[in-house]
Amino acid sequence: MKRETMFDDEILRLRDRLAELEIGSADYQHVLDDLKKLEMLKERERKRKWYNNIDSRTVVTGCMMIAQTVIILNYEKIGFIASKAFPGVIKPKI
């Protein structure tokens, strides 16, 4: 298992501790509560990274728009720039 955050070692330690305890005991419940809190903090830290909030459709649409523009400009480099192809280019909806 790859350890990505500072919480991973503690989560693994608590999981091992849970296996040793009797289900339903007070110690089991305390360890389980601590484990839930650590998992929540780990998830919050993962969501905080900026690149996880980028929608993949946005990236694909942006790449398609750039590719269309480059293709049109390279085609029109041969002759004159009529720019009649630009109305067909996808316009971003902001």
DSSP code per residue over 23-53: TTSHHHHHHHHHHHHHHHHHHHHHHHSGGGG
pLDDT at 55: 84
pLDDT at 42: 87
Same domain, 45 and 75: no
Same domain, 15 and 43: yes
| Dist. CA 68–CA 92, nearest whole Å | 13
DSSP 8-state code for residue 92: P
In a domain, 2, yes or no: no
Same domain, 12 and 37: yes
Q: Are the C-beta atoms of 45 and 5 separated by less than 8 Å?
A: yes
pLDDT at 1: 47
pLDDT at 82: 59
Residues 6+ apart with CB under 8 A from 27: 21
Domain hosting residue 49, numbered range: 8-53
Same domain, 63 and 74: yes
In a domain, 43, yes or no: yes
Helix (H, G, I), strand (E, B) or coil at 4: coil
How much is the mean pLDDT over the chain? Answer: 79
How many domains does the chain fold into? 2
In a domain, 93, yes or no: no
Q: Are the C-beta atoms of 38 and 7 separated by less than 8 Å?
A: yes
Residues of the chain with pLDDT under 50: 1
Same domain, 39 and 20: yes
Q: pTM here?
A: 0.49
In a domain, 64, yes or no: yes
Q: Are the C-beta atoms of 3 and 9 separated by less than 8 Å?
A: yes
In a domain, 19, yes or no: yes
